Amino acid sequence: MSDCRRQWNREDELPVYLAGPITTGPNQRKSFGMFSSVEGAFDSKTIDFDNYAVGRKGSRTPRSGSRERLLDTGDPVGKTPSEPREGSLTNSPGDREDARTGVEVRFSTEKESPDGKNERLLIKGGRVVNDDQSFYADVYIEDGLIKQVGENLVVPGGVKVIEANGRMVIPGGIDVNTCLMKPFLGTQPVDDFLQGTKAAIAGGTTMIIDHVTPQPEDSLLEAFERWQEAADKRACCDYSLHVDIPQWNESVKYELELLVQEKGVNSFQVYMAYKDVYQMTDSQLYEAFSFLKQLGAVVLVHAENGDLIAQEQRKILGMGITGPEGHPLSRPEELEAEAVFRAITLGNRVNCPVYITKVMSKSAADTITQARRKGSVVFGEPITASLATDGSHYWSKNWAKAAAYVTSPPLSPDPTTPDHLHTLLACGDLQVVGSSHCAYSTSQKAVGKDDFTLIPEGTNGVEERMGFVWDKAVAMGKMDENQFVAVTSTNAAKIFNLYPRKGRIAVGSDADIVIWDPDSVKTITAKLQQSASEYNIFEGLECRGAPAMVLSQGRVVYEDGNLQTQQGTGRFIPRKPFPDYAYQRVKFRNQVKNKQGVTRGIYDGPVYDVIPTPKYITPAPSAKTSPTSHQPPPIRNLHQSNFSLSGAQIDDNVPRRSGHRIVAPPGGRSNITSLG
Amino acid sequence: MSYQGKKNIPKITSDRLLIKGGRIVNDDQSFHADIYMEDGLIKQIGDNLIVPGGVKTIEANGKMVIPGGIDIHTHFQMPYRGTTTVDDFNQGSKAALAGGTTMIVDHVIPEPGTSLMEAYDQWRQWADEKTCCDYSLHVDITHWNDSVKQEVDNLIKEKGVNSFHVYMAYKDYYQMSNSELYEVFTFLAERGGIAQVHAENGEIIAEEQARMLQMGITGPEGHVLSRPEELEAEAVFRAITIASQTNCPLYVTRVMSKSAADIISQARKKGNVVFGEPITASLGTDGTHYWSKNWAKAASFVTSPPLSPDPTTPDYLNTLLSSGDLSVTGSAHCTFSVAQKAIGKDDFTQIPEGVNGVEERMALIWDKAVTTGKMDENMFVAVTSTNAAKILNLYPRKGRIAVGSDADLVIWDTDSIRTITAKTHNSAAEYNVFEGMELRGAPLVVICQGKIVLEDGNLHATSGVGRFIPCSPFPDFAYKRVKARKQLAVLRAVPRGMYDGPVSEFSMSRGGTPSASARTSPTKQPVRNLHQSGFSLAGPPTPDDVPIRPAGRRIVVPPGGRSNITSLS
């Protein structure tokens, strides 16, 4: 052990900047087989790790690839993704060994507290990837914060050192959409905050933002506190909360204000679907948007046309279709696109940022893209499910499987959807990736076995989220690693005002860090997942890219397939209103968009007498709602007082267009207007 | 055909007419031929026609002879808060004839809560008394319930109405919810009607209006500020979505803005059956006049959706009209006197809405689209008459010059130049929104029902000769595609074994289930009954060995060991 430590140290003394940029050529290093006898079990974490072989030019350091697992007190044979390949490795260990590096943990001086409670950590030799740039640097962590980033850091003794060996060191993922406590007919999802956050961490996500889903009539505050209490007890990683607004009235307003100003919530979800339950009318949405904008909150919208869905559901049930295929049939993607369009229109009118949760279809995504081209402040969030799979499974003969895919808006049956969404994600038209993780067991789903409208909605995805974005976007060449960081964490942090505390590796940020292994290949299966649900909708899909090590709050919580989480360690992260990323433009537009009335002379011509008894109500839409009939408009008051008309007439003689002629009508009413 | 027998054969000398030497322009081709008309019908077309003696002959001298225009959208004699629009059916149809339009389609607007049938009869009575040209009627559906449904059914089957107009604006008054729209569209699709929509988001408008008034904006500019074109585009998008869900042909009345037109053209590219109708005002002028210092002038432009303040809009709409993305043109002619408009002098929401345009329609399109080279003369015929006739299922009786068609013809003078002014127009309104505009192109001779009504600038219209033209349902132009799609789009359930695994207990308290239609959907469905009765699963369940997607096919036996979760697989 001491031998190898020396060996490592010597190599580390070579400055990192001597290393060339990431090479794609063959590995220059040769293996001495140093550790091959120590721990063979973890050899095959990756096969070809040439790509990120970085630093230590000319170093002849042995890379056995095995890792010392000083922290790991448990049985190392766990859910290692590479298990299946072990056999082949043992046949030719030498060939493989030189081709890979690993993530190593060790202590620079003496071994201490192997339980993971070490407060000081140094990640050496990693390539720090932020959303804007990648660079080689060491990261020193103390008390859960990043204290230093750079080379040749001066760190105190006794620091636990993690050898990144040139791997990517990225900010921990932020999953902006989870529902770990969303009640459905009295039952809770099988993944609660403990199970859910464990799954999150196993997938490289170190922060979740969960949806508080109060029922109509419930108090938002109470619901929020309930959620917070549950999460404080159970969550293993930092979390924050969105609050869903199930209905709109005066008391809700008061609670929203409290939530924003005192509770650290800056995002609220409204529903355009779920008729007669959560759905809001356009007027209510307008009011909600206006109010939330004043508070500086981000409006999340579940965008589907609930009225039409209700109609379609009735129609589909009437046709005798009761299985899960009725779910996508009654919620065609058009309805999603329509609602997205409407939400954006509302957002534009109110001049309020709009965040579309769960972008599931091409047309919805295209609608967002177009709106952004026109300058609307709108954000789109595809979820793991829409990025990795499609809705063809709703037609599976296996009811339980088909039901597992039920979520709203539904997965699009168009198999090209995931690809399209990834493209938009890569080019920045969609900004963040959530998972909308809401896992129900099959028996819970079976509540709707005879009626698809009763199937609890929700899919898994918190664990697979980062992996699939890497696999489908980065590994395919659509996206670079910086954009990967942006969509998995940075943008989310910016939108929800957590930046740069979260979503960036920088001095002062929280030490939520993932060492990412871009080459790990694993096959998703419900057997090996952290989630408690029986079905995994990504079952059997191969996914390249996985976290090699996850740090949350400065502690190693996941390493090579082993979770070392502690429930209740997750902190609630309060968020301030008016996130710059969403509101800066809005503020400026507010200043610019000042509308002014035209100053005219008072119309003194004949006025047709309207029958006082409004047998015919005016077609003016707001006749009932507008305050006009009650308060005299200010301009008129000006006229009624001593405002003089004499000055205003001069410029009136300048015609605006050729059509400006003032007509003296045949009836001879030449005094129709006082002006012009 | 129920031709209103009483006034069917007015004794007029020019019963037989021959147009010699004209160039006949239909929507598909132009050719030189003579036209012989008798009894209000076109009897012969061709060269060297053999006609009886004593026929009045019109020398066209190579000028264009086109089918008379069909103005598919007018509001003559529309009641509004106890008053009516200044142009009644007589005045309005005279203006129409003067502009080369020989048929109008007026909107019947029943007050919410009143009978559609009564309103229809009322409009028929007014129109039969006064119109000078043939007419037909749209009926507006201002509220929706089962009795309205019945009336709509009757109107389609017995009264010759095939198009119904619904409103997405005018909150708390005409406006319909999405669910109602869905039901209306579904019903119309069954009966072969055309769903027309006034597309604007009424709820947001109401909020915006309240905001404008609060800001102290009470003049006509508040009208356009509170109805930005986005709201029109949004509603158009929504209407198209609903129509496509219900597989119902959609007709968007009054396309006033670029973005609304764009949405329609996108939807058409995707294959939706949707027609867009720009109106004379949106093709000819723009919304900058709302800011005019002259209140009366500004107010005369007030219509809904408003004219777009973007001055490039008319040009853009003409382009889309030329490319066929917009299908027909109306005028939405609905004129109020200044005194009537002045009801809203202190509150723009009270200004009666409507602009003129029935007289200017044809000339304006000729000037803006044909003389600028955007469209050819055949397209001009298509958008001014043929398409409208097709949508109303009147083709080829109207909208075409062919043997057997009605003798509604216009000899079009492509070179005449006129300046539009309220002084000389045939409408009774004091203001003309096209005031001062120079238009090239005008009708030289207008023949309506085989009689010359406009010649040498003199109008010889006779009040009350106009016949009601019944429109039959299921016009091919709109419904052929719809019918074919209906046959294709049959949804089928997946035959599965019954799920026999454990079912989680759920509280029936319905603490607000997220299931959208839990309250509205009939949860007892036929299929379940089938299972419960003697329906057999056809022996052993078919193994699910044909993977839909090979990669994700594995069936999981979950850790808990519940291997009997499904009966299949």
Of the two residues B61 and A669, the one the predictor is more confident about is B61
**Angstroms from A313 CA to nearest CA on chain B:** 7
Under CATH, which number does the domain B64-489 receive?
3.20.20.140
Which H/E stretch holds residue A387?
helix A384-388
- Would you say residue A378 has pLDDT above 60? yes
Check CB contact under 8 Å for A636 and B544. Answer: no
d(CA A17, CA B190): 74
Q: Residue B344 in 3-state DSSP?
A: helix
User: Under a CB-based contact definition with an 8 Å cutoff, are residues A423 and A382 in contact?
Assistant: no
Residues near A31 by beta carbon (within 8 Å), at least 6 away in sequence: A62, A63, A64, A94, A97, A98
A418 has a chain B CB within 8 A of its CB: no
H-type alpha helices, A427-560: 442-445, 465-469, 481-485, 491-495
Residue A294 CB partners (closer than 8 Å, separation 6+):
none
Comparing C-alpha atoms, which of B268, B468, B478 is closest to residue B393?
B478
The predicted-structure confidence for B225-283, as pLDDT tens digits, reads as follows 999 999 999 999 999 999 999 999 999 999 999 999 999 999 998 889 999 999 999 99
A215 to B511: CB separation less than 8 angstroms, yes or no: yes
H or E segment at A552?
A: strand A542-552
Report the 10 Å Cβ neighbour count for B150.
12
- pLDDT of B529 above 70: no
The mean pLDDT of chain B is 85
Span B493-510, average pLDDT: 72
Which residue in the set B213, B216, B493 is minimally distant from A325, CB to CB?
A: B493
Rg for chain B, CA atoms, rounded: 28
Q: Tell me the pLDDT tens digit for each residue of B472-492.
A: 999 999 998 888 888 877 777
**pLDDT value, residue B535:** 42
Nearest residue of B to residue A607 by CA position?
A: B339
Task: Tell me the C-alpha distance between B12 and A298, whole Å.
Answer: 73
Segment A16-42, tens digit of pLDDT: 444 334 434 444 444 444 444 444 344
pLDDT at A83 over 80: no
- A476 pLDDT more than 50: yes
Q: Most distant CA pair in chain A: distance in Å?
A: 110
What is the band of A102 on the pLDDT scale with cuts at 50, 70, 90?
A: low
Q: Quote the minimal CA–CA distance from A622 to chain B in Å.
A: 5
Q: Would you state the structure tokens that stand for residue B535, as one six-digit string?
A: 């329906």
| A residues 310-369 closer than 8 Å to B (CB) | 310-314, 316-323, 325-326, 329, 332, 334-335, 337-338, 341-342, 345-346, 348-349
Instruction: Please give the share of chain A, as a percent, with pLDDT higher than 90.
Output: 54
Confidence of residue A225 (pLDDT cuts 50, 70, 90): very high
- If you measure CA to CA, which chain B residue comes closest to A338? B238
Q: What is the pLDDT of residue A449?
A: 87
Contact criterion met (CB below 8 Å) for A143 and A119? yes
Asked whether the ipTM of the predicted complex exceeds the cut of 0.95, the reply is no
Angle at B273 between CA B399 and CA B382, to 5 degrees: 20
Distance CA B360, CA A146 (A): 73
CA proximity to B175, closest of B184, B166, B183:
B166
Least confidently predicted of A11-15, A252-256, B119-123? A11-15
Interface of B with A in 190-219 (CB under 8 A): 201-210, 212-219
CB contact residues (below 8 A), chain B span 399-438, against chain A: 421-423, 430-432, 434-437
pTM of the predicted model over 0.80: no
| Contact yes or no for A597 and B217 at CB 8 A | yes
Q: Which of A321, A389, A453 sits opposite B491 (nearest CB)?
A: A321
Q: Which residue has the higher pLDDT, B569 or A213?
A: A213
Confidence of residue A607 (pLDDT cuts 50, 70, 90): confident
Summarize pLDDT for A235-251 with one digit per residue, the tens.
999 999 999 999 998 88
Domains and CATH numbers, chain A: 170-588 (3.20.20.140)
User: Can you tell me which residue has the tokens 């949860």?
Assistant: B523
B 37-96 → A contacts, CB under 8 A: 79-83
Q: Tokens for A300?
A: 């999340």
How many cross-chain Cβ pairs, A to B, lie less than 8 Å apart? Answer: 452
Instruction: Return the sign of the alpha-carbon dihedral for residues A240, A244, A248, A252.
Output: negative
Tokens 């839409």 identify what position? A621
Neighbours of A408 (CB within 10 A): 23
B549 contact A CB<8A: yes
Min Cα distance A288 → chain B (Å) is 12
Residues 537-576 of A with CB under 8 A from B: 537-542
Residues of B in contact with A672 (CB under 8 A): 296, 338, 430
pLDDT average, residue stretch A618-636: 40
